[in-house]
Structure 1
Amino acid sequence: MQKNIIDLHMHSAHSDDGEFTPTELVKMCAESGLKYFALTDHNSTKGTAEAYQAAQQYGLTLISGIEIDCVHEGTHLHVLGYGVDPNYPAFAKIEADILKQEQQKSVQRVGLVEKLGIYINHDKLNKLSKHGVIIGEMIAEASIYEPENKDHPLTMPYLAGGKRSNNPYVNFHWDFCAPGKPAHVAINYISLNEAIKYIVESGGIPVLAHPGNNIHESEKLLVSILAQGVKGIEVYSSYHSEEQIQFYLSQAQQRGCLITCGSDFHGKTKPSIKLGDCRCSKETEQTLIQKLAPYYFKK
């Protein structure tokens, strides 16, 4: 499959689960053949200035971005903001609030995984921790390959050849630490309405990220989300099946939504995801590049 020249969903080390610095990430974008990209760190715009400087060096076009955790009708959503002002004060406040909660809940998260009988290498875990935060992907990295878990039925699916080995760290997170799972620890996220308000006030456009992961194919929930002011849908996602792509493409076309694409590249937490693997047609890609022109980042 030919890679796209635009990728609107990726994370740097300013996300707890991102591996590379913004500069390293931009260099990788250039090497992957990308021409347009958006840096969309979790609840953070701190990497924008560095990414822009690197983009200038490599001749790439940056769309400033953010991926905000929020809640609507009891569902945890991720909303992407494109063209946002990285210095908008609310973003720093959201990031600081979530960081404080994550720091407070990390020990509890680790304890719940250990309660399942999974051994965790705490020395390794402490080295992986960022700012005192321990997320599910870090727990996975400090446990699934440890000899103490050899032949453990709960960790075997993440080893090479196992049914969850394609993205072992994030799959571990989804299987054990996500909402409804045995090691889930609740974080109080802002509402969808608040997330939209902040994105719009900062000059951006709100887009629903990888809906197949969050709302699956619930047309009722999708309509409710769009009614709050979300203007686009990440139709082409590395997570979506062909059936999901067709479902969300049809919904976006019917409702006049911006159709976007993104790999959700993180690095080691999602090793099967590559930069530029956005799966959209060249025609869709060119249309998107034109529509996003007002949101290209300029200092």
Structure 2
Amino acid sequence: MFDLHIHSLYSNDGEYSPTDLVRQCVKSGINVMAITDHNTVAATGEAKKSALEHNIDYIPGIEIDCTFKNTNFHVLGLGINFNDAVYKEIENNIRTQGQTISYSRLQKIRELGFNIKEDDLHALSKHSFWPETWTGEMFAEIVLNHPDYKDHPLLKPFRSGGERSDNPLANFYWDFFAQGRSCFVKASYPDMTNIIDIIHQTHGYAVLAHPCVNLKGKMQLLTDIIKAGIDGIEAFSSYHTKEQAAYIFDIVKQNHLFTTCGSDYHGKIKPAIRLGQHHCTLTAEEMEKQLISLL
């Protein structure tokens, strides 16, 4: 089984160490994996060593925030030379913006009526690889556990039995902090075409992650993204229905790209998502044929 979209604690919203994830992949029957942390390759050295010890094929990866025609996207870099200094530059670009963005997020969520304390946010972030960054999931964890907001109407969908309660922390991020939402704060992300070039220059393959999330209502952009030089598309994702996956996979075949499968596993912020959960309909042999250059 393949899972080429996994997050470790080196993502600002991940939970487990690279070694822990390798062990979990063994238990889940996954024999080809990639840790694709947000804007950093910090997990790769440990992950490669542990995967080798457990007889798992490991593909070096990263998930990079970028923009294309005023829309934010995530692009996976798979099979990259992770030692290239350019990936540290990508990490530093995000890190230097972290504190300013975090305080802007705090101001916006306070405007919604949630009196969140800085000390509570520092307590959640201080042991993170990104201590200067307060994520939407961190804000969610605080407000959802705060006794004063037990019956707050804005939080009802995220409570047990609510329509957004399957992954309440992640869904809170998407509903309040994602692009176009009330607490969204714009970051300075590189253009997707530049990221595609960087991935290619470091001998990797550029893959558009979970397109049905970021292209919601803008599916016409996919044609232009393909023309920009993307190598593959993550058709099979925990975010996609079977119908959406089939639709994207048809586009992949029509454009002679390859497809990947990824759970986007994070741990506690997405409790409904498990490793290997991506609804892939391809056999192991079919997937290997597509990804032969990565293995």
Structures share a fold, TM > 0.5?
Answer: yes
Structure 2 equivalent of residue 246 of structure 1: 246
Q: CA deviation at 1:294?
A: 3.0
Structure 1 equivalent of residue 287 of structure 2: 288
Structure 1 equivalent of residue 193 of structure 2: 193
- Kindly provide the amino acid, as one letter, of the partner of residue 212 in structure 1: C
SS of 2:247's partner is: helix
| Matching residue within 79, 87, 93 for 1:91 | 87
Structure 2 equivalent of residue 260 of structure 1: 260
| Matching residue within 33, 37, 48 for 1:37 | 33
Q: Deviations over 1:14-57 (max 9, x none)?
A: 11001111111111111111100011011111110100111012
Q: Please, which runs of 5 or more residues in structure 1 have no aligned partner?
A: none
- Kindly provide the amino acid, as one letter, of the partner of residue 93 in structure 2: D
Structure 2 equivalent of residue 232 of structure 1: 232
Structure 2 equivalent of residue 208 of structure 1: 208
- Kindly provide the amino acid, as one letter, of the partner of residue 221 in structure 2: L
| Matching residue within 45, 48, 55 for 1:49 | 45
RMSD, aligned CA:
1.4
Does the aligned pair in 2 maintain the 1:232–1:260 contact within 8 Å?
yes
Cα pair distance change 1:7/1:217, threshold 3 Å: farther
Q: Deviations over 1:220-239 (max 9, x none)?
A: 31010010100111001100
Whether 1:108 aligns to 2:104 is yes
Structure 2 equivalent of residue 24 of structure 1: 20
Q: Deviations over 1:112-159 (max 9, x none)?
A: 111101243544422211322101011101111211101100112111
Does the aligned pair in 2 maintain the 1:6–1:35 contact within 8 Å?
yes
Query: C-alpha separation between the residues in 1 aligned to 2:291 and 2:247?
Result: 23
Structure 1 equivalent of residue 149 of structure 2: 149
Q: Please, which runs of 5 or more residues in structure 2 have no aligned partner?
A: none
Does the aligned pair in 1 maintain the 2:34–2:59 contact within 8 Å?
yes
Q: CA deviation at 1:292?
A: 2.4
Q: Deviations over 1:149-176 (max 9, x none)?
A: 0110011211111111111111111111
Query: C-alpha separation between the residues in 1 aligned to 2:219 and 2:186?
Result: 26
Query: C-alpha separation between the residues in 1 aligned to 2:246 and 2:113?
Result: 41
Query: C-alpha separation between the residues in 2 aligned to 1:232 and 1:15?
Result: 23
Does the aligned pair in 1 maintain the 2:6–2:35 contact within 8 Å?
yes
Query: C-alpha separation between the residues in 2 aligned to 1:219 and 1:106?
Result: 30
Q: Deviations over 1:55-93 (max 9, x none)?
A: 012111101111111100111011111100111111110
Structure 1 equivalent of residue 124 of structure 2: 128
Query: C-alpha separation between the residues in 1 aligned to 2:62 and 2:142?
Result: 28
Does the aligned pair in 1 maintain the 2:242–2:279 contact within 8 Å?
no
- Kindly provide the amino acid, as one letter, of the partner of residue 90 in structure 2: I
TM-score (normalised: structure 2): 0.95
Whether 1:13 aligns to 2:12 is no
Q: Deviations over 1:239-260 (max 9, x none)?
A: 0122211211111111111011
Higher mean alpha-carbon deviation, 216-225 vs 53-62, is at 216-225
Cα pair distance change 1:173/1:219, threshold 3 Å: closer
Does the aligned pair in 1 maintain the 2:4–2:262 contact within 8 Å?
yes
Higher mean alpha-carbon deviation, 285-294 vs 154-163, is at 285-294
Query: C-alpha separation between the residues in 1 aligned to 2:193 and 2:282?
Result: 33
Structure 1 equivalent of residue 69 of structure 2: 73
- Kindly provide the amino acid, as one letter, of the partner of residue 124 in structure 2: L
SS of 2:259's partner is: strand
Cα pair distance change 1:41/1:238, threshold 3 Å: same
| Matching residue within 114, 119, 124 for 1:118 | 114
Structure 1 equivalent of residue 220 of structure 2: 220
Identity %: 41
Cα pair distance change 1:179/1:282, threshold 3 Å: closer
